[in-house]
Amino acid sequence: MASAARFFIRGAHSKLCITGIGSGTQSTFGATFLKLSPSSSSCTKTQRRHAAHFTFQPDPEPTQYGPTQKMNMFQSVTSALDHTLANDPTAVIFGEDVAFGGVFRCTVGLRDKYGKDRVFNTPLCEQGIVGFGIGAAVAGATAIAEIQFADYIYPAFDQIVNEAAKYRYRSGNLFDCGSLTIRAPWGCVGHGSLYHSQSPEAFFAHCPGIKVVIPRSPVQAKGLLLSCIADQNPCIFFEPKILYRAAVEQVPIEPYIIPLSQAEILQEGSDVTLVAWGHRKAIHLLKEVANMAQEKLGVSCELIDLQTILPWTLKTVCKSVVKTGRLLISHEAPITGGFAAEISASVQEECFLNLEAPISRVCGYDTPFPHIFEPFYIPDKWKCFDAIKKMISY
């Protein structure tokens, strides 16, 4: 049904081109006046997909984990899953189409290598996928469930927050399903529209008992996914799908882990702290913004990748804000109730006397995720740059 809706929307608007947009605030985007005109030669396919444009900036090649090999993100995920199946005879991978390699090819070749009893398809039922995963994990298996896409994780919401997250608590630690990992493609790519572009991490950040992790690169994806699989708590691993093929790095061949719940400072700075997670608007675009701020304003930005949404590293963020006095948080999810609000409230409580300007949130709008207006919906470098200019003016 979602695919049919997406096809209908694309067809209905295939002859429209955005020629202008009125000004508006994030809370009133739905009321913003949008002017359309029939398609013309200037409305190219590249322009329509401008929202997906970003420059991936690979991290330095890691040397502490041994030899490396060039991989994109889906290959690094496959590598992590391959190592898990090879080293853990109880590990099973299941979900929609995973036996055929998955929608994004993250499980390609694994069924042939390890057998149909360990890598297998499930019915198109998210409740069943997660429910089966909980049962398998409780019985002692390492269960790795795949949900396609993160937008369709909601039917399994009850299983995740009322069963998986609380299993240990309600049994007084007699039982648990800590060896459950739920993978899901996450975030927008520029043309996914309502049902293939959402960022639902804030929904699960409200629920004690689970961990929520979002990597920014192939190196991070492999290390963090292996950490999730080894962790003794149920984990949700959101994979930025725009990076599956666009992000390429030298990834260690052997298994390695990157600790959960530890934010990483990617760039030192002294004037503004930038906090985000995941893909382009989170990390890679903010790197461009930091360079713009330095070149055009002489402003030094400190960039932090949160990596783990739940639990997150307040200490690292606060230490940075104490130094810079300013904080900008960016994500694609709607601004109201987004995880930036939690960060903002926590930093306000801990660092109020150190703040030189109000905390700024550059986020999505409080509307369903649009299709042809995606470039105006999601944060971009100009919105973030304007927010930095405003903070510096205080």
Q: Which residues make beta-bridge pairs with 310?
A: 212
User: Which residues partner with 144 through β-bridges?
Assistant: 93, 181
Catalytic pick among 196, 279, 284, 331: 196
Among left, alpha and beta (phi > 0; psi -120 to 50; other), residue 360 is beta
- CB-count burial class (<10 Å; 0-12, 13-18, 19+) for 6: middle
Cα distance between residue 250 and residue 177, in whole Å: 33
Is residue 196 flagged as an active site residue? yes
> Could you identify the residue written with the tokens 């409305």?
43
**Which of these is catalytic: 126, 201, 249, 374?**
126
Spell out the residues 6+ positions from residue 345 whose beta carbon is closer than 8 angstroms to its own: none
Q: What is the tally of helices (H) and strands (E) in the chain?
A: 15, 16
Burial of 45 (0-12, 13-18, 19+ CB in 10 A): exposed
Residues acting as catalytic residues: 126, 196
